[in-house]
Amino acid sequence: MIQKDLEELRLKAKTISDDEKKQIFLSFSEEELLDQLKELYIRMEPSYTSQINIQEKVLILKRTDKAVSNFTLAVLLYKGDIRAQTIGLVSEIEMRLNNLSEFANKYILILIGSSSNEASARLHSLKNNSVEVKSIDWLIEKFLEHLPEIFYDSVKISFFHKRIADLECKHWLSQKGLNLSDIFTDPIVSTIDIENISEQIRDEIITKRKLPFQSLKSFLKSNEKILIAGEAGSGKTSALAKLVIDSYRECIKQITENKEKIVAIPILLKANEFINIKNKEALYECIPDNIREKIQINSILIDGVDEISIEERKSVIHKAIELSNELKTSLIISTRTDQISNESIQSLKRYDLLSFEFNQSLRLIQKITDGGYRDFSKIKNIIVDSINKLGKNLPLTPISIILLVELIEQEKEIPASLVELYQRYLELVLGNIDSKKGLEVLFDFPIKEKLLSRLAFQEFYKKNRLEIPNSEFYAFIEEYNLKYKSFGETNQFIEELKRSQILSINHTTMFRHRSFLEYFIGLYINKNRDADEFGTINNYLVNLYFSEKWSEATLYYIGLNQEVKKEFLQKLFEFKKELPEYSLEKLLSGRLLQAGWYSESSVKEYGIENAIEHLDEARNYLYNIISKIHDSQMSSLFVDTFILMYCEESLSSMFLHQENKKILDQYLLKANNFSYLQALGLYAANKRFLNINESNKVAYNLLQRIDKDEKLVNDEKARYFISLDLIEREDKEVRRAIRKRLRKRLGKSFFQNPVKHLAKERKEIPVLEQITYIETLKVTDFTCFKNNEVSFSSGMNFIIGENSSGKTHLIKIIYASISAINQTKNFAVPLKNELGEQIIAKELVEVFRPDSLARLSSADKADVSLQVTMTDGLNKDYLDLSYSFSKEDEKAVKIESLDRSNDFPNVVFIPVKEVLSFTTYFVDYYENHESDFDKTYYNLMKALSRAPIKKDSEKYKVIEPFLNILKEIMGGHIIKKEHKFYLLTEDGIERETSLIAEGHRKIAMLYYLILTDNLKRGDILFWDEPDSSLNPKLIVSLTKALVALVEMGIQVFVTSHNLFFMHEVDLSVKAFGEKFPAKFFSLVNEYKNVAIEEGSKLSDLKTIDSLDEALSQGDREQEISLNLENTSND
């Protein structure tokens, strides 16, 4: 029994009165007592074997310890009182003991009753004083300590305890003596609610949300039918086991409160066990027959449906659903992602087990280390750093985190041992996990590894792509098998590859994680480095390292060798020396030294010295880029901080510590060509490995050197002092000394808290924070668009055109496409499958409101293609989404390409009609009734229903200046009470939004969207005719607000007919220049098509209908004036 459960039951049993306990023992028959006594001795004395002699009604115990030979104990029970008048009973007991001579040489007599003093004396003298007489009080004490369930329903409770004990040890760390409950960390699941499912496809995707896995406990008492899907090693089995353990413990609690109560329990079976369950009677046979009548099954849990054959899966799921319906129980089935056909699970509600987030990963590691690995506090910094680095390369699942802990135990770190971690992880998911479960693995790990490395190199790297058509993938497999004869049945081999979940094989084939692809590319090059195609391998690797897309493959190549050669480093540092843009990669080359941790010390020194020499050049390159875009006086300080972070990432490693320290010590002795930034970079990288004396020596050396250097001006000294202050963030004494010099030289007010100031200034440099925006849209035969391609600005996009020219349709195409993708963020499955295709189709229909999807296509087939750009101001990355649908398609589009759905930006659409005045019950009405409103209204209402940001939060400080602009326009701020919005004016008067001007209500919507964090940096706003119902004065204010949105890093799309609004935005473009990126678009109706003109200024457009009409109006006015004048003259 688990010690924790035993202690809880023991404490509970102690509350029972002594008389009640005695009555419980007296209520048992001798046979029942002997059974309980046997169980007691199993707990008390595990070294004894026990057997009940039914004829003699005695328990015989034999010592199994070889050191004590020929020792047998007989335990005899006697129920009843022995007093003076019944002293003859002693003779009867003596006779029974004599009969036991052939079985034992020592005896225990337990009296379940009371005895007189004379009777006790005679009993103790039996068998030459070899009899120990124990009272009922002794028996109660022993049962309380070792078997407290006897005071309740011991048979039922023992059943639960045994099941709990079995489940507690069936996990990866059981060999370390850890129970599942001790280390279990609740994962997060993402839900997909499905309704109205047709026979062929899942039809309606209703909602998506995230919740803790343990919240599914409530489903054990309902009739829900659930599918749990997750990647290999994501903890599906442990999660189900924990649900059952908790349920069994709850049953024990119920029994202690009422032992006659029939308890409802879950039954957990492996899928290969459930195959043999034919009916409900067979299911109940999983419960011992002596307690079956006292137990009712309330839920069926089937683990590992993916572990049985494809043919058996559908049958098992069908039978499980039938049994669940017959018994009126809930049903939970677990499987690896993408291992069950859609038609098999159409009546199941799906929950996807997500990878761990940072805090969950840290919690799991702390639980493991508390369980006996190491003192968590001593390795916390290493762990935090390792989790961050691991999460960039592998999914954070229980398996990958356990492997990480094992590396840390061996005093290794990430990324130095990243390749070793990959090798262990891949070996597990490519077969060892299944082998440990007793499943048949037909194809060995080396076969799969070799094929995947060749696939990655030839089909992905050589052809410079991240996904390939399925036809090419299957052709590659067939060709590979013909060439190498590595495996027999191709389909069986592909099924094992799918189970490993290294690849995602849907409409196209891709590696599930980018790092998998890079690892296998590095592995292929490493295994074939002597091949002619690589020429001089060092030259090849250098070009690979500086390539835009495949740089990380170099890291894995070197990690596989655990060594880096000096010749390679020399070529790396010589690569295009005249071009400063490569200096940052050269500074970061220390990561290659970490991967090649077994390199010679002299090679490490060479690499560190040359990497750090590129620090100043990298810093200046970075600064020049930023200063062109942002002229903040603190840009220089922030770039210094940024470059120190790069130094830590590149050179901070236990495997480089000795060489780093040696170079730093030598560097501090330099008199000429001394770079403070290089010295600070070396110190930042080595700081965590220095003891307090070594650290203080370096810090004070730098502090005095900076302070006394007369060649440095005050601004330069401030930069270096603040950088040193950041490095010394945990040393108060050194920081005091730094700040004393800052106050002395630069004044108390400005540099009183440089770290805080720097954090504030960081928010003032948005170019260094990632933003995401729509860059291009290609659309063919979609409503009024025949064949159009548009490139957008990352800031303001102003769209004009006459009625029915497609302005609203243009922004709705983009909005609906990305909104659909965002509904599936954090799913544990790739979206490029039937599910994603249905979601996009459904969103298009609900946003455009046609009778059917096909009505949106103006020809046989419509195509939509979007390119989304992600940038931090220095580097760009691209996300692509393209899909099509034909006249025959009713429920789904066909996704042609889709990159990393989780990275798509948040989008907000504000329709022409404001919504604040009719929010009451709108969401509930829309969800439960047919409505003529398109879904943009519903989505906007849902966004407005979120709670506002707290005023004392950092987020609020960032948005406060913008909110103040909007408050000034409205004359107050917006508050929400229950379902209604009010304008709270500056004089404290509350006004319902229905009573304020519609123009102000539109501004109020924008205010509340920002206040609730629905519009923030990196988001995209679509606003259909925001100027509608606004007078010219408010339009000026609206334009200021839109300019501020762009400055916040929000891409904005607006449509309008209003010439005044156009000119106001155009004036802002001219006034702010590059700080206000903008483009204007004019949609012009042509025969059966819409032409799109574009320009960076309003004057670049050839067609401005409202301007033409304004000029025409002027001409008519002039003509009328002339006619009136002529008439007057006549």
**What pLDDT is stored for residue 504 in this prediction?**
82
The H-assigned helical ranges of 392-513 are 398-409, 418-427, 433-436, 445-455, 470-484, 490-500
The b-or-e profile of 299-309 (16+ CB within 10 A means b, else e) is bbbbbbbbbbe
Q: In which band, very low, low, confident or very high, does the pLDDT at 623 lie, cut at 50, 70 and 90?
A: confident
Q: What is the DSSP string of 248-297?
A: HHHHHHHHHH-TTSPEEEEEEEEHHHHTT--SHHHHHTTS-TTTGGGEEE
In this prediction, residues 660-664 reach a mean pLDDT of 93
**Which among 754, 693, 765 is positioned nearest to 729, based on CA atoms?**
754
Residue 74 to residue 95: CA distance in whole angstroms:
14
Residues 6+ apart with CB under 8 A from 1066: 1080, 1097, 1098, 1099
Residue 958 to residue 755: CA distance in whole angstroms:
17
**What pLDDT is stored for residue 207 in this prediction?**
37
More confident residue, 452 or 95: 452
- The proportion of the chain whose per-residue pLDDT surpasses 90, expressed as a percent, equals 22
In this prediction, residues 19-27 reach a mean pLDDT of 81
Q: In which band, very low, low, confident or very high, does the pLDDT at 760 lie, cut at 50, 70 and 90?
A: very low
Q: Which of 347-361, 598-612, 643-657, 825-839 has the least mean pLDDT?
A: 825-839
Phi, psi of 234 (to 5 degrees): -80, -5
Residue 932's identity, in one-letter code, is: D
Residue 1030's identity, in one-letter code, is: L
Is 1043:795 a contact under the CB 8 Å cutoff? Answer: no
Residue 229 to residue 674: CA distance in whole angstroms:
58
**What pLDDT is stored for residue 755 in this prediction?**
38
Residue 49 to residue 28: CA distance in whole angstroms:
24
Tell me the β-bridge partners of 270. Answer: 303
Name the average pLDDT for the chain. Answer: 81
Q: Which of 108-117, 194-203, 604-613 has the least mean pLDDT?
A: 194-203
More confident residue, 755 or 359: 359
Residue 767 has pLDDT above 50, yes or no: no
More confident residue, 789 or 85: 789
More confident residue, 330 or 420: 330
pLDDT, tens only, 260-315 = 888 999 999 999 899 999 999 999 999 988 888 889 999 999 998 888 887 788 88
Q: In which band, very low, low, confident or very high, does the pLDDT at 828 lie, cut at 50, 70 and 90?
A: very low
Plot region of 74 (φ>0 → left; ψ -120 to 50 → alpha; else → beta): beta
Q: In which band, very low, low, confident or very high, does the pLDDT at 536 lie, cut at 50, 70 and 90?
A: very high
Q: Is 85 helix (H, G, I), strand (E, B) or coil?
A: helix
Q: Is 676 helix (H, G, I), strand (E, B) or coil?
A: helix
Is 603:564 a contact under the CB 8 Å cutoff? Answer: yes
Q: In which band, very low, low, confident or very high, does the pLDDT at 343 lie, cut at 50, 70 and 90?
A: low
Residue 86 has pLDDT above 50, yes or no: yes
Q: Which of 219-223, 967-971, 1061-1065 has the least mean pLDDT?
A: 219-223
pLDDT, tens only, 171-220 = 767 767 788 888 888 888 876 543 333 333 333 333 345 567 777 777 77
Residues 6+ apart with CB under 8 A from 625: 873, 874
Residue 847 to residue 923: CA distance in whole angstroms:
15
**What pLDDT is stored for residue 373 in this prediction?**
46
pLDDT, tens only, 419-430 = 777 777 777 777
In this prediction, residues 573-601 reach a mean pLDDT of 91
Residues 6+ apart with CB under 8 A from 997: 1029
Q: Which of 42-56, 388-402, 888-902 has the least mean pLDDT?
A: 388-402
The H-assigned helical ranges of 652-691 are 657-668, 676-686
Secondary structure string (H, E, C) spanning 919-982: CCCHHHHHHHCCCCCCHHHHHHHHHHCCCCCCCCCHHHHHHHHHHHHHHHHHCEEEEEECCEEE
Residue 849 has pLDDT above 70, yes or no: yes
Q: What angle, 0 to 180 degrees and rounded to 10, lies between the N-to-C axes of helices 1032-1047 and 998-1011?
A: 10
Residue 367 has pLDDT above 90, yes or no: no
Residues 6+ apart with CB under 8 A from 4: 181
pLDDT, tens only, 688-736 = 888 888 999 999 999 999 988 888 888 788 888 888 888 886 667 777 7
Is 40:50 a contact under the CB 8 Å cutoff? Answer: no
In this prediction, residues 968-997 reach a mean pLDDT of 85
In this prediction, residues 41-60 reach a mean pLDDT of 83
More confident residue, 639 or 415: 639
Q: Which of 218-227, 271-280, 365-374, 618-627 has the least mean pLDDT?
A: 365-374
Residue 178 to residue 658: CA distance in whole angstroms:
37
**What pLDDT is stored for residue 645 in this prediction?**
87
Q: In which band, very low, low, confident or very high, does the pLDDT at 127 lie, cut at 50, 70 and 90?
A: low
In this prediction, residues 835-846 reach a mean pLDDT of 86
Element of type H or E holding 897: strand 894-898
**What pLDDT is stored for residue 206 in this prediction?**
31
More confident residue, 186 or 592: 592
Residue 762 has pLDDT above 70, yes or no: no
In this prediction, residues 235-259 reach a mean pLDDT of 87
**In angstroms, what is the C-alpha Rg of the chain?**
38
In this prediction, residues 510-530 reach a mean pLDDT of 90
